[in-house]
Amino acid sequence: MTDAQQPTGSAVATEPEDLNPFHITQQQFDRAIPHLARLKRGLIDFLKSPVRTITVSFPVEMDDGSVAMFTGHRVLHSQVRGPGKGGIRYHPNVTVDQVRALAEWMTWKCALLDVPFGGAKGGVVCNPKELGASELRKITRRYISDLGDNIGPHTDIPAPDLYTNEQTMAWIYDTYHTMHPGRNNWPVVTGKPLSMGGSLGRKQATGRGCLYATERLLERGLVAGLNSLAGARVAIQGYGEVGRVAAELFQAAGARVVALSDSQGGIHQPDGIDLAAARQFKQQHQTLVGLPGTRAITNQELLELPCDVLLPAALENQLHRGNAQRIQARLICEGANGPTTPAADEILARRGIPVLPDILANAGGVTVSYFEWVQNIENEQWELEQVNTKLQSKMRSATDHVLDRWSQLNGLTTPQAAGSWSVDLRTAALVIAIERVADVTLRRGIWP
Ligand code: NAD
């Protein structure tokens, strides 16, 4: 994290907040440890550490005939409960510590949703906005071929993440299949196009999962006076695979989307944004800013707007020590991975604002990726309704587990809107997930 990326506006802090995502995962884990009394020190160290970190550097011939070097990482955090699973992102700010953090969050996410995967993540340092399709294809092929057998249908299975999509997954499949011809390789990657073994519902799954988790939390009374999304004001940062879909689904569930943003800025309309117009405007202008009938705002302003649900769906470290005190949302649903820092978690808990943590809120994506993997192994295609029903059941059940454990850890008899609490929802979710991974580790026995 460079100085330029440090959040500004901190009224309380004297020292800059540590925004290294891997350090943040360690702090989050450390908050869960006191509630995991029976875990031995060495086991804790094992559970906290990635088992494998690979960095590859490779040349790519660019469209103008020049040759450029690229660096990619793939981190496997855990294979205790199954093969590694995790997306690949293309972004100029990809670092090995960021990928380590994302891989660890995947481990806890899969354990919490009870899908039989471990955690992994990958990233290539590049700016996809400045790359043509053939350059992106060459980067993808070279990155995947250099990873070699470190990915595979039963070892480590990639998926989309920031600035990668089903086209990227199609190239990944094709590269792997060329390297391993003559067998069913569909399950090597998820988030593929429908015509190539993709699952119905996968593209919408992360946003849909956010919806199901939010609805369940509201039904269970965590936000006083707001028992459903009917009429709720929702502000969403990020208008990609997660944010755009969440906007449309939350609106279909009765909410009013009052703010949206992309990397160039945000738009605000307290009466509700016309989402069809927003989608068309974004397609035409590559940004939302300037949509008629809306007011242009910054991404910072969006986070601090009065609203019922704030859904960060872009990058890490958006809610931090410098702005947590000014957040006016009544509930935060983490569509993105790692949007809230530990200092912000503390402030929000003190202020009684629940945060549906990333490892729960955005787990719909990996859950339907798991469904896709199962369909690929069975050479089946499930109906959309079947996918969504199964997803809803998993999201509601995981949300219930987290709320129940959260109540128990806070000494409440039932989940309820409380003034403030000492143990937040993230810690409760982590306690469940870590216990599950620890349990399987011990049942399998430490090798040899
Ligand atoms: P995407 O590339 O489809 O979209 C990203 C969006 O964020 C774009 O609208 C972009 O303009 C916006 N953005 C980029 N920089 C921004 C900034 N500085 N401020 C505001 N907006 C900015 O990515 P995605 O797949 O929607 O992923 C978004 C987040 O959700 C990431 O944190 C990712 O790890 C997480 N996530 C994605 C999935 C998935 O299935 N795609 C699953 C779980 C979690």
pLDDT tens readout for residues 99-146:
999 999 999 999 999 999 999 999 999 999 999 999 999 999 999 999
**Residue 115 and residue 68 share a domain:** yes
Whether residues 169 and 91 fall in one domain: yes
Q: Is the pLDDT of residue 9 over 50?
A: no
Mean pLDDT of 433-440: 97
pLDDT at position 10: 42
pLDDT digits (tens, 9 = 90+) for 257-269: 999 999 999 999 9
* Whole-number pLDDT of residue 383: 98
Q: If you average pLDDT over residues 408-413, what whole number do you get?
A: 90
203 CA distance to ligand 1 centroid (A)?
13
What is the CATH classification number for the domain harbouring 111? 3.40.50.10860
Q: Is the CB of 84 under 6 A from ligand 1?
A: no
Q: Does 298 share its domain with 181?
A: no
Cα separation, 21 vs 101, in Å, equals 6
Confirm whether 97 is domain-assigned.
Answer: yes
Average pLDDT score over the chain: 95
Given the residues 121, 138, 192, 394, the one annotated as active site = 121
For residues 297 and 318, the answer to whether their CB atoms sit within 8 Å is no
Residue 109 and residue 88 in one domain? yes
Burial of 80: CB neighbours in 10 Å, binned 0-12, 13-18, 19+: buried
- If asked whether residues 247 and 157 sit together in one domain, one would say no
Give the pLDDT confidence of 22-54 residue by residue, as tens digits: 999 999 999 999 999 789 999 999 999 999 999
CB of 294 sitting under 6 A from ligand 1: no
DSSP calls for 253-277? TT-EEEEEEETTEEEE-TT---HHH
Probe residue for ligand 1, chosen from 126, 162, 244, 323 as the CB with the greatest number of ligand atoms within 8 Å: 162
- Asked if 233 and 247 count as a contact pair (C-beta separation under 8 A), the reply is no
Tell me how far apart the alpha carbons of residues 69 and 59 are, in angstroms, rounded to a whole number: 4
**Which residue, 163, 192, 221, sits at the end of a domain?**
192
Tell me, yes or no, whether 404 and 264 share the same domain.
yes
Query: In the structure encoding, which two tokens stand for residue 188, read together?
Result: 């090597």
Q: Is residue 381 part of a domain?
A: no
For residues 296 and 370, give the distance between their C-alpha atoms in angstroms, rounded to a whole number.
Answer: 39
Give percent of the chain with pLDDT exceeding 70.
Answer: 96
Positive or negative torsion for Cα 441, 443, 446, 448: negative
Q: Is the CB of 206 under 6 A from ligand 1?
A: yes
Of 327 and 412, which is predicted with more confidence?
327
Say which CATH number the domain at 408 has. 3.40.50.720
User: In the structure, what pLDDT confidence band is assigned to residue 13 with cuts at 50, 70 and 90?
Assistant: low
Does residue 239's CB lie within 6 angstroms of at least one atom of ligand 1? yes
Per-residue burial over 341-362, b if 16 or more Cβ lie within 10 Å, else e, is bbbbbebbbeeebbbbbbbbbb
Contact indicator for 192, 173 with CB cutoff of 8 Å:
yes
Indicate the residue among 164, 192, 220 that finishes a domain. Answer: 192
- pLDDT at site 419: 77
Scanning 82-220, the segments in alpha helix (DSSP H) are 96-113, 133-147, 166-179, 202-219
Say whether pLDDT at 2 is over 50.
no
pLDDT (mean) for 241-265? 98
Last residue of a domain, one of 162, 192, 222: 192
Flag whether 359 is in a domain: yes
Position 418 scores a pLDDT of: 67
82 and 111 part of one domain: yes
Whether 46 maps to a domain, the answer reads: no
Summarize the confidence of residues 181-191 as an average pLDDT: 98
State the distance from the centre of ligand 1 to the C-alpha of 88, rounded, in angstroms: 12
Q: Is residue 270 a part of any domain in this protein?
A: yes
Non-local (6+) Cβ contacts of 400 within 8 A are: 216, 220
**How does DSSP assign 44-62, residue by residue?**
HHHHHS-SEEEEEEEEEE-
Whether residue 318 has its Cβ less than 6 Å from ligand 1: no
Which residue range(s) make up the domain with 96? Answer: 52-192
> What span, in angstroms and rounded, lies between the C-alpha atoms of 238 and 218?
23
- Residue 364 in 3-state DSSP? helix
Residue range 293-310: average pLDDT? Answer: 98
- C-alpha span between 97 and 22 (Å, rounded): 5
In a domain, 70, yes or no: yes
Pairwise CA distance, residues 386 & 89, whole Å: 29
Average pLDDT for 44-70: 97
Helix (H) or strand (E) holding 330: none
pLDDT at 3 over 90: no
141 shares a domain with 214: no
Lowest mean pLDDT among 13-17, 184-188, 194-198, 259-263: 13-17
Active site residue 394: no
pLDDT digits (tens, 9 = 90+) for 355-381: 999 999 999 999 999 999 999 999 999
Ligand 1 contacts CB of residue 335 (under 6 A)? yes
User: Does residue 75 contact residue 95 with C-beta atoms inside 8 Å?
Assistant: no
Cα-to-centroid distance, 42 and ligand 1 (Å): 35
Same structural domain, 57 and 183: yes
Among protein residues, the one whose CA lies closest to atom 5 of ligand 1: 240
Instruction: Note whether residue 132 is domain-resident.
Output: yes
Does 166 share its domain with 233? no
209 and 304: one domain?
yes
Total number of domains in the chain: 2
Is the pLDDT assigned to residue 220 strictly greater than 50?
yes
Q: Which atom of ligand 1 is nearest to the CA of 266?
A: 20
Q: How confident is the model at residue 93 (pLDDT cuts 50, 70, 90)?
A: very high
Residue 63 Cα to ligand 1 midpoint, Å, equals 27
pLDDT at 413: 78
Q: 182 and 107, same structural domain? A: yes
Kindly state if the Cβ of 166 falls inside 6 Å of ligand 1: no
Ligand 1 mean position, distance from CA 362 (Å) = 11
- Flag whether 369 is in a domain: no
